[in-house]
Structure 1
């Protein structure tokens, strides 16, 4: 029954996502789908209701009068059905055993985090959700769709923290590096400045909260007006290796064929790494508490972060040049 409910809610959620983002492409990325799949789904929904729901205009996908009517009915249904599925699953989990639902904006530390959590609680049903938007993940914790999330907060673009969350700092200030082609003329340099990359095409992910805002701020401060390409991180990896773009990246980013990672002079770009959990005083059902305490979640995340940080030659070199710049020392983790 829940699977059928989820299918219907997914159709309605797709319509809401297209309306909210103004683009089938952006909505597909938000929903974790390909654009052709979402386009096909939209056509099926339109056939079912008997009319066009969105019109393609210069500003993007705009709801038709029929689309506005459907959306007015869809939004409250999506909210109610999402809550129903979440509460039903929570009840099933409580009856069926231990569970843990975690999410992340994406980090090389996530696989190690999952590995440690499963080792710590092998009997627990552990699920994982990834989203480029930290705000979306925080809202999912408040809505009891996730128990804890690992998110990035871009310096100068603070997240809007919903009520009812407890926040824990993993790293107060993580410098952001730049990824460029291994054949780039500056590839042999150990450290690069923004000025040296002023004429490059920079790729940023518009779905990542604060990424473009933070990058634009440091460009403005440096008096630079770069060319910008919008795309997701998967597309960025291929385009960087091909020499088409450069892109900001995490210092823990692993080596990839054709791509190198370098620190930026003066560390103008930075993020704060946070763990968010639902607060015990948030008024929720105490029976929905996950199997693991925040302290254990944070300890396993810290160990996983140290592991990938130590494995990165570039990040380890950077740390050795900066005394006391991090809240987490780089140590070898067994």
Structure 2
């Protein structure tokens, strides 16, 4: 067996995630298939590359040697593919294209509307995914131009080298959605102990979501029953009183469903927009910022939280201004930015 780039990419994914299950998901394959592939790679190199432990996979000394040679090759191949795709796009019909990837957000419709109005000659596409890490990898591979993602507190994302990033919201509190007739819905702020007897629903395919919720519940001394499923199904079950679930603060209540802040804001996320170049970030960031705060202003619960916690209402959307033409993709990744000091807890947009 001769090693190929896809084999090296698999080894890097296993090392980066520390788990065959997570690496398989990142690579878009099943865990049994990845396990079989790893065995074949180890047979080809003549030794074990990862020690399988209860807590995950750890590179062996031989594995570290192989990885030290594999990583530069994978990076170079990624740059080659990115450059080739950019050249192919330029050689097509000449229409400017903007490929956006995003995790779920109520800011998306307003963002796309603003971009369409400000860039009427640009063809915009949208790729939604529950996995922020998958979107970041697609961006690094040249399959996307922009990725708008959220990072669950305590569960850092794996941001590939060479990407530029900007923080939209440093710490967005996560609220809870519950049936409108739930006893706790009569309170302006809900304690986790108010939900001790409820079943929770969480989507475990969302990067960091299950780990973050587990941590919060454990710290509150709770061990509730949990259902796993997507959040579209969760909304239906919340309305009928079957479950409660974490939700974004921009979520809007319905006649059959209430949205409330959690006491002490135990769970937060950081909202990031990323691109390969600063120019690409500059071309779309203002529109996203305005769309986010527009969505925030439509949520009474979030407005009350902002006024009560920060003493300020959501900022008014900025007046439209002429945008420069969308830049062509760079031919090679730029060096990572200097992140500077640790981010503050200010809710307003912050630059990295």
What's the TM-score, normalizing by structure 1? Answer: 0.70
Partner of 1:182: 180
| Runs of 4+ displaced beyond 4 Å | 61-65, 82-89
Partner of 1:318: 305
Q: 1:176 to 1:64 in 2, by over 3 A?
A: closer
1:20-31 equivalences under 5 Å are: none
Count of aligned pairs between the two proteins: 269
Alignment pair present for 1:307 and 2:305: no
SS in 1 for 2:259: strand
CA distance in 2, matches of 1:89, 1:314: 44
Gaps of 5+ in 1: 1-19, 32-53, 55-60, 73-81, 281-291
Can you list the C-alpha shifts for 1:202-261, whole angstroms capped at 9, x where unaligned? 111111111111111111211111211111111111111111110000000133452111
Q: 1:177 to 1:329 in 2, by over 3 A?
A: same
CA distance in 1, matches of 2:234, 2:81: 35
CA distance in 1, matches of 2:265, 2:34: 47
Partner of 2:114: 116
1:1-334 equivalences under 5 Å are: 62=32, 90-95=86-91, 96-279=94-277, 293-323=280-310, 329-331=314-316
Gaps of 5+ in 2: 1-19, 42-77, 320-352
Q: 1:264 to 1:64 in 2, by over 3 A?
A: closer
SS in 1 for 2:274: strand
Q: Does the CA-based 8 Å contact 1:310-1:332 persist in structure 2?
A: no
Q: Does the CA-based 8 Å contact 1:309-1:330 persist in structure 2?
A: no
CA distance in 1, matches of 2:156, 2:192: 23
SS in 2 for 1:315: helix
CA distance in 2, matches of 1:149, 1:137: 6
CA distance in 2, matches of 1:332, 1:84: 39
Q: Does the CA-based 8 Å contact 1:307-1:333 persist in structure 2?
A: no
Can you list the C-alpha shifts for 1:286-316, whole angstroms capped at 9, x where unaligned? xxxxxx7312311111100010000111110
Query: Residue 68 of structure 1: CA displacement?
Result: 6.4
Query: Residue 184 of structure 1: CA displacement?
Result: 1.5
Can you list the C-alpha shifts for 1:81-129, whole angstroms capped at 9, x where unaligned? x999977654343132211101111100011111111111111111110
CA distance in 2, matches of 1:134, 1:302: 19
Query: Residue 156 of structure 1: CA displacement?
Result: 1.2
Single out whichever of 178-187 and 131-140 deviates more from structure 2. Answer: 178-187
Q: Does the CA-based 8 Å contact 1:306-1:333 persist in structure 2?
A: no
Q: Does the CA-based 8 Å contact 1:108-1:254 persist in structure 2?
A: no
CA distance in 1, matches of 2:86, 2:317: 38
RMSD: 3.6
SS in 1 for 2:176: strand
